[in-house]
Structure 1
Amino acid sequence: MIDTTRLRAAALALAATALACAAASAQPAAQAAAAAARTPARQADYIVAIVNNELVTQVELDQRIARARLDALRTGARLPPDAELRKQVLDALIEERVVVTYARDSGLKVDEPELDRAVANVAAANKLTLDKLQDRLKAEGIDYARFRANLRDQMLAERVREREVISRIRVTDAEIDNAVAARQGQMAASSEMNIAQILVTVPENASPEVVAERREKALAALARVRGGEPFEVVAKAVSEDANKDKGGEIGAKPADRLPDLFVNAVKPLAVGAVTAEPVRSGAGFHILKLLSRSDVSTASVTQTRARHILLRPSTALPVDAAQKRLAEFRDQILAGSRRFEDVARQYSEDGSAAGGGDLGWTAPGSLVPEFEEAMNKLPPGGISQPVVSRFGVHLIQVVERRQVAVDPKELREQARNVLREQKFGPAYTDWAAELKARAYIEMREPPQ
């Protein structure tokens, strides 16, 4: 199914002929209608819809549908029936026009240097110099100023989407409290415990008399420990497990790798304390001593310092072209012919470009899921394959990692970010629907 819930870069990239589509999508409705009237022989090209002062043409719709089918062949995705596919693609095109026209009136600006980088990326993706790009545009009947204006519209649409949608998302304190509690539970499960045990085994299907005798033996061992004998001495003398020679010490393990029975039994204990009664399991009776435990309040998280190169796809730079361009950058960087930070300064379409793409130290939950998932798989110094997120296509390099204590305020902010990201999709759907409801949309019938 075509994703129409977000104005994603992938949706913008469905044009079969990107440069030609850039001109078509930016052409005012009156101008395009006049052009169509001057070329009556092209019966296949007609106006499908007028959206505010923009239009959608049949040629563009056909190109998008063809590209969707090519993408489905490449990825193995299943497409809906032809009529439903046409409706979904048309709805996505109308949504794009609605957002673009709103973005123009939003008051947001795109600086000329940022626009220059976007144009340079389009040229590079097509293996053209800027002069050759202008020549190609001219040969295809596309005005260069209109081409730049179209790219500017795409960038404005991306920015207004982030501003408007994020401002609509509400995260309550109760939601944050619940998320923090869940996170602390995860941290507790991953905190390490070192437990020692004295095990008195009970044979399978043992009679009540045997079970009672075994329990008495465990109680006698517990009495020796309470009487002042060192736990490890009693363990070596009595315990029937593989760790008896080490004084019964199991070794430090994350809580989620220990039996729940053990974790629950030692949870109320102070470090150095012993369970008040033997704990019964399928193996027998256990006397447990908590040797050490990492305190949840001082648990640490892994922070990552990363940098990235961001290309923002548009109708002039489809997602696959941006991915290919970043893959070329990756090969050059790995070969040693270019430095990551230099490429970021020259080409990245992000505010971090001036700093070589450096994003600083980030904690879990600070970045969009697609980015964070790819980043977390990289070792320090590693460079990802191109990664698509709602912001565009990224090339990511991990610079270094560190363990830091979790600050309660930071934990709440992480929870807020995760919740905000989870709500982004529904919030965007509502916002786009409201824009469409206020927009002028006129559907046209095919010419007879």
Structure 2
Amino acid sequence: MKLNAVLCFLLFFPAAVSSQPQELDRVAVIVDQGVVLESEIQELVESVKRNAVASGQDLPSDQAVRTQATERLILTSLQMQMAERMGIQVSDPQLEQTIASIAESEGATVEQLRASLAAEGVSYDSYREEVRRELITGEVRRANVRRRVYITPQEVESLVRLMQQQGLEQAEYRLGHILIGFPPEPTEEDIESARDRADKVLELLNNGSDFAKIAIASSSGAKALEGGDMGWMNINAMPTLFAEAVQDKKTGELIGPIRSGAGFHILKVMDLKGIEQVEIVEVNSRHILIKPTVILSEERAKKMLEEFRQQILAGEADFAELAKEHSADPGSALKGGELGWSDPSAYVPAFKEALENLEKDQISQPFRSSHGWHIVQLLDRRIGDVTDKVQEEKAYRLLFNRKFAEETDDWLREMRDSAYIEVLE
């Protein structure tokens, strides 16, 4: 046999050089219409062992680790089969974007992530497909478990109250204090005189007078020389009268006069910590919307609004009347175009941007949004406290996540119990 022929024989028939058969892989578990391979189990076991070494964690016996790895792969197989039936897929661009986000969250580039995986002996292609499986199984769980989660308004309210109570217990207030005192056994005249002085002090403070100066000049309290500054106090450490008064109050807010046996107290929340407060700038505005149609061109719609704007500015027309007559937004047209107080981020980007560039009472030039052509007038701005809303959303998310985890466990157990599983020796 010529050398070239020998080489070809060895290349295409490597088993000919060895009398011992070599097992490349085998089916370890039959899972409904799918299988779990021995190589998949070994790969997952090795990954668990690597992670344990890296974190200094002790593992149970190899058999125990293998059992857990096999169970994990059975559940993954069932979910991937369900994803196929549901038509759930993850495209390559979506996958690459997810991996880029993972790398960014770890302060690395995709190239650095690949290098890190290679240093750990992990194939990038294997990692990539594992991320794809995680995305697909995550979507399968969300689609099947979300409808099993039910949260009542009462549950949200109860959790909000608990969160607020815990927040109050941890809260600390820095209070300013002014005491307008009266004698130990005051007459009605003493009380009325003290009340009048307290009302005048509060009026001065509301008009912008310096709290510390007035405290030094007028307060009978122990901290008068410190400008009434009582320092930081936990709500449980301050007098009960004050603790009840400061609840739900914000930084800078004045409280009082509050009567006690010593006189009339005026408090100022100079600062606070440990309490979540969320404020946003809300806007009140009105608009006129013109929607282009087959009959009404883009240019004509814009021109109509330019004419409306000129008429309003010249005092020849009223904004509200024009909105009622011409606006294509039925919800606001009946109210003269008024949209009411709202968070600007609730509007489409073009509308939000137009409002941001307006002063109070100013009317915008015509602009195009996804809804059509608008002119908008900013009626006013204010600081809105959305703390309660944020707390309700946070409570809902906490309840949802907890119930979702519980229902996911039940769903996976039910799915496994109804599946055909055969572990092959």
TM-score (norm 1): 0.47
Of the two, which has the highest radius of gyration? 2
Q: Per chain length, whose mean CA-contact separation is higher, i.e. which structure has more relative contact order (CA < 8 Å, sep 6+)?
A: 1
